[in-house]
Amino acid sequence: MSAAPVSTALYTDRYELTMLGAALRDGTAQRRCVFEVFGRRLPGGRRYGVVAGTGRLLSLIRDFQFGEDELRFLADEKVVDAETLAFLENYRFTGSITGYREGELYFPGSPVLVVEGTFAEAVVLETLALSVLNHDSAIATAAARMSVAAGERPLAEMGSRRAGEESAVAAARAAYIAGFGATSNLEAGRRWGIPTMGTAAHAWTLLHDSEEDAFRAQIAALGVETTLLVDTYDTRTGVDTAIRVAGTELGGVRLDSGDLPSVASAVREQLDHLGATHTKITVTSDLDEHAIAALAASPVDSYGVGTSVVTGAGSPTAGMVYKLVAREDPAGGWVSVAKASTNKASHGGRKSAFRTLEGGTATGELILVASAFESLASPDAPEGARPLHHALVRSGEVITDFEGPSGVQAARDHHRAVRRELPLRGLALSRSEPALPTVYVDVDMEGQPPSDS
């Protein structure tokens, strides 16, 4: 018998439910609304962001239901009143969600997720949506930059020990989508179908009476194609010992300390001199995208990245927000709404997003904004542009194409394709303005851009 789904309904902030309770009381809870997830800016002066977490979020929304335990907690803690508890007992999201595909690039103002439904059913999803998209997109953005820096050399994610246990699994998923080829995290491999890797740490060498004993035992267990960690004591001696024990067909050596460019060059020269010309060199040791770029000319075959990737390489959140941008008025019409707060202003109205292209190269982020809600029900793509919004949930039913291991692989493939659209300057690692401008165009009642007259 399969276990019952674990509710995600309390993965939320208290004020979502207190707003819901107040809206039920004053009669606004059933007003139709449009909420939007977007980032006002890209963190860390980066030139693009990568959307990640969508597939995870859809599964979590399916499980966003209030069971007996959740309702009992809310009642015991007096979070909401009896009327709100009764509403939550039967809560199911029945609205629609559209958004950018996972793996897609985004820029300031990009409406990466659009949630449509009543205020009551849409407002309570804010915290869940942001906690998933902000974390996973931050990891994917950092991972994409590392992938660019690595070029064709393989990258492995190995940062589980620097993150919370569930964050580690999510980080491995996001990194794989953005270009990493493997993870050390077995749960990420089981849950998401990501290739796993790993051999031995320094503790393995320290366990044995000698480095040679450790190497012989590892080869006996894993075969000569394994990778030996050669810098527990003296790297040069470690390489000599590794080849003496394994022979010239040793699969690889790993370097985890020292000035990596010079150490890698010395080790490559030593391996070649010993006849191990096909033995590969993997480097680890606190790598980030800049350290990887600095190794571009070094004789390195692959990279293992830990702390930097699972913490977003200095930007651990994407900084996205979830804002109400349109709502139904008392007469049943639609009103665009937006914050006007200093440095936190938002752009009201229902939106549809497109990536403009010239000769296959991206030139901008085009956001069509409807003055009337129905104007953008099914907009046509402008010439030379591709639509960025895709249906994710229809009438409360999650579209399953984006979930599970197959959804992860599709997101990885999509990211690889859309990253090729960026102009070359957009791939630079230095701090700068976004690679593409975001342009808003208001549309008239027929859904067409206004004329110049």
**What type of residue sits at position 184?**
S
Secondary structure (3-state) at 385: strand
What lies within 8 Å, CB to CB, of 27 at 6+ separation is none
Sheet containing 385-387: order of strands:
385-387, 350-358, 361-370, 438-443
CATH of domain 151-310: 3.20.20.70
355 pairs with which residues across the strands? 365, 386
What are 30-42's pLDDT values in tens digits? 999 999 999 999 9
Q: Which long-range contacts (CB under 8 A, 24 or more apart) does 234-243 make?
A: 235/263, 235/266, 235/267, 236/266, 236/270, 237/211, 238/211, 239/267, 239/270, 239/271, 239/274, 240/270, 240/274, 241/211, 241/212, 241/215, 242/215, 243/271, 243/274, 243/275, 243/276, 243/279
Whole-angstrom Cα distance, residue 240 to residue 275? 11
What are 91-100's pLDDT values in tens digits? 999 999 999 9
Secondary structure (3-state) at 164: coil
Residues of the chain falling short of pLDDT 70: 1-5, 371-379, 444-453
Q: What backbone torsions phi and psi does residue 40 show, to the nearest 5 degrees?
A: -70, -30
Ordered by start, the domain boundaries in the chain are: 14-139+315-443, 151-310
Burial (CB < 10 A; 0-12, 13-18, 19+), residue 258, is middle
**pLDDT value at position 111?**
97
Reading the block at residue 145, the tokens are 């930059």
Task: Of 372, 376, 371, 354, give the one whose Cα is nearest residue 363.
Answer: 354
Whole-angstrom Cα distance, residue 49 to residue 315? 11
**pLDDT value at position 370?**
83
Reading the block at residue 343, the tokens are 């440095």
Task: Of 72, 67, 62, give the one whose Cα is nearest residue 92.
Answer: 62
**How many other C-beta atoms can be found within 10 angstroms of the C-beta atom of residue 294?**
14
Whole-angstrom Cα distance, residue 212 to residue 140? 39
- What is the rounded end-to-end Cα distance, in angstroms, of the chain? 67
255 pairs with which residues across the strands? 283
The dihedral formed by the CA atoms of 194, 195, 196 and 199, expressed in degrees to the nearest 10: -170
Length of the chain: 453
Q: Please check whether the two domains, 14-139+315-443 and 151-310, share a CATH topology.
A: no
CB 391 within 8 A of CB 399: yes
Burial (CB < 10 A; 0-12, 13-18, 19+), residue 15, is exposed
Reading the block at residue 333, the tokens are 């019409």
What lies within 8 Å, CB to CB, of 76 at 6+ separation is none
**Hey, what CATH class is 14-139+315-443 in?**
alpha beta
